[in-house]
Amino acid sequence: MRQERGAQGKVIGGMHESIRDLLKPSRRSEVAPFMVMDVMAAAARIEAAGGRVVHMEVGQPAAPAPAAARRAAMAALEKGDIGYTHALGVASLRARIARHYQDAYGAAVPPDRIVVTTGSSAGFILAFLAILDPGDRVAVASPGYPPYRHILTALGCEPAPIEITERTRYAMTVENVLAAHRERPLKAVLVASPANPTGTMMPREDLRKLIEACEGEGIRFISDEIYHGLDYAFAAETALKLSDRAIVINSFSKYFCMTGWRIGWMVLPEALVRSVERLQQNIAISVPALSQVAAEAAFDGRGEMEAVKHGYEANRRLLLEGLPGAGLERFLPVDGAFYLYADISRFSNDSLDFAKRMLAEAGVAATPGIDFDPVNGHKFLRFCYAGSTPDMREAVERIGHWLRRY
Ligand SMILES: Cc1ncc(COP(=O)(O)O)c(C=O)c1O
């Protein structure tokens, strides 16, 4: 390659420095990749070659959206009237979500505190933009859902990982959050119960104490309630019953099996609604109208979704009974969502390598813990049990057979 040397700058590796700058991504975009993608790609290669893989790596339901939701979407498509909606969401959907709080928790929530979002993922972005300034610190559990950390970093904020351990039943406590606050002030704390990747939940009293302690110190409480409805050990409590100031983020993705429809919602303190409305108007204009129509009808499909949940319960029992016999006897409390977080340190200290070998040699795909916890995740694997019960049975048999020869 001919190398040029101009007035504006140096030539580096055949490319002019100023042109290289034009192609350079921002520092804030340097977020970590999802290691599970490697496992998924390897699984796809095995399947393309005619092999069999039991999928327990992706955190999404195998079942489709409720029939009522799909029917409503088809009728709306037929009519063709699909335009922008109000930035905060269609009024009838916001009213239906408000009724859900009354039905499910006995909580009175006015529809005008509800904002429809493009999945809970967009809810986080809107909530963070509405309450945080660059440099603000937010406590998140470690292990925890990686996008919490990555979205915060991309917005110029600082995630403050709180290590959760057996001693605290794998939940954040008043003590460890306030200790982090004393180190350097926190602006917010973000809690999910049930959580991903652990599937662990916080009892109501612990949640209440944590919210009270945080708000007493001026720390905002954000509650990710995306796995509500999928609770087996005890009933999940909404933060809305414990505080009027908490920000609640939820989604149709998990309980209602609507991941690809990209629709969720937030419940905000009244004082934040207008800020989020302005943000949503500018960032997204509105949430897809078709998904809003489907989401409203999804509430009529609760019977169908309860049957799906019974399937998860059967899968959970099967894993709790079968995995110890297969060699994985240590896992975190399996309270809710559809995850089991297993300690594999008896076999390996490299969860990515273990996941790759388990896939290649046993035909079972799971997610390495390092995706969720850069410190201790090398000792854990996350199993998603949202698939079919025969698949889960087959996975336990395959893992047992494999580990006996490991
Ligand atoms: C804990 C948690 N929160 C939020 C999300 C984002 O989901 P969505 O944007 O589909 O609502 C996920 C997805 O897996 C999750 O596990």
- Model pLDDT for residues 68-113, shown as the tens digit of each residue: 999 999 999 999 999 999 999 999 999 999 999 999 999 999 999 9
Q: What is the pLDDT of residues 153-211, one digit of tens each?
A: 999 999 999 999 988 999 999 999 999 999 999 999 999 999 999 999 999 999 999 99
Atom of ligand 1 nearest to the CA of 121: 9
Ligand 1 pocket: which residues have CB below 6 Å? 59, 119-121, 145, 192, 196, 224, 226, 251, 253, 259, 264
Q: Where are the beta strands (DSSP E) in 203-263?
A: 220-224, 247-251
Residue 317 Cα to ligand 1 midpoint, Å, equals 24
Global confidence as pTM: 0.94
Atom of ligand 1 nearest to the CA of 60: 14
Residue 303 Cα to ligand 1 midpoint, Å, equals 23
Q: 217: which 2 tokens? A: 């110190």
Residue 120 Cα to ligand 1 midpoint, Å, equals 6
Residue pair 180/160 in contact by the 8 Å Cβ criterion: yes
Ligand 1 pocket mutation pick from 200, 254, 367, 382 by most atoms within 8 angstroms of CB: 254
- Residue 30: CA count within 13 A, CB half-sphere: 5
Q: 338: which 2 tokens? A: 């559809």
Residue 393 Cα to ligand 1 midpoint, Å, equals 26
CA dist., res. 201 & res. 372, Å (int) = 17
Atom of ligand 1 nearest to the CA of 145: 1
Considering the chain, what percentage of its residues have pLDDT values greater than 90?
87
CA dist., res. 86 & res. 388, Å (int) = 39
- For position 6, what pLDDT does the model report? 46
Residue 386 Cα to ligand 1 midpoint, Å, equals 14
Atom of ligand 1 nearest to the CA of 253: 10
CA dist., res. 380 & res. 371, Å (int) = 10
CA dist., res. 60 & res. 234, Å (int) = 22
Atom of ligand 1 nearest to the CA of 259: 10
Strand partners, 364: 54
Please report, in tens digits, the pLDDT of each residue of the chain (406 residues total): 444 454 455 766 666 777 778 888 888 888 887 778 788 899 999 999 999 999 999 999 999 999 999 999 999 999 999 999 999 999 999 999 999 999 999 999 999 999 999 999 999 999 999 999 999 999 999 999 999 999 999 999 999 999 999 889 999 999 999 999 999 999 999 999 999 999 999 999 999 999 999 999 999 999 999 999 999 999 999 999 999 999 999 999 999 999 999 999 999 999 999 999 999 999 999 999 999 999 999 999 999 999 999 999 999 999 999 999 999 999 999 999 999 999 999 999 999 999 999 999 999 999 999 999 999 999 999 999 999 999 999 999 999 999 999 8
Range list of H helices, 257-301: 270-283, 289-298
C-alpha distances in angstroms, 289 versus 44, 78, 98, 299?
A: 33, 14, 19, 17
Residue 264 Cα to ligand 1 midpoint, Å, equals 10
Residue 242 Cα to ligand 1 midpoint, Å, equals 23
- For position 91, what pLDDT does the model report? 98
Residue 357 Cα to ligand 1 midpoint, Å, equals 27
- For position 7, what pLDDT does the model report? 46
Atom of ligand 1 nearest to the CA of 195: 1
Which is nearest to 387 in space by CA: 58, 70, 37?
58
